[in-house]
Amino acid sequence: MKKKIIIILLLLGFQGFSQNEIDSLEDQIYVESFGKCFSQLKPLPEVKNRAKLNKIPFCSLYQCVRYVQYVEYEEKIQNAILKRAVEIATLLYKNETPIYLISGMNSSDKALIKNINLKDDNKLVYISVAECISSSTLDRIQEVVNNETTRLIKSKK
């Protein structure tokens, strides 16, 4: 009986360990690229008078993607966030972590598979921003970031 319990505990431990390896890769990618905050960027003056947004520094691509949907019908603020997202995409490229946003069915799985080897295809880091349902604002930020990344990669060649 004791042997069976020990074997079960060992198997559970191995299963947990193997899952942590994949999770840590995904976490590392998010922290080092998508969530990386560039402190040299100044706050956006367009969100200064917005109660929920004035405390957001908009220093990472994650913040831009997450909060651009809050201002879907305020074009001036949305354009400022999109412009900041392009700035951050440029900074990420200069730091040798160009980022490419993807969406659609199973996009998080596709991103994980493409990110297994970050040395291929210009070291692109793929980030899923919408799994099944995407909004027009997410599509727009995805487009401007991907266009900037593609432009920078092509200009290097």
Q: What share of the chain is helix, strand, coil (3-state, %, to 5)?
A: 65, 5, 30
Contact present, 61 and 89 (Cβ < 8 Å): yes
Question: Using CA atoms, how far apart are residues 59 and 7, in angstroms rounded to an integer?
Answer: 48
- pTM of the shown model: 0.81
Q: What is the pLDDT of residues 97-134, one digit of tens each?
A: 899 999 988 888 888 888 887 777 678 899 999 888 88
Q: What is the pLDDT of residues 11-64, one digit of tens each?
A: 666 555 444 455 566 677 777 789 999 999 998 999 888 888 889 999 999 999
What is the chain's alpha carbon radius of gyration, rounded to the nearest angstrom? Answer: 19
Give the CA dihedral 143, 137, 65, 43, nearest 10 degrees. Answer: 100
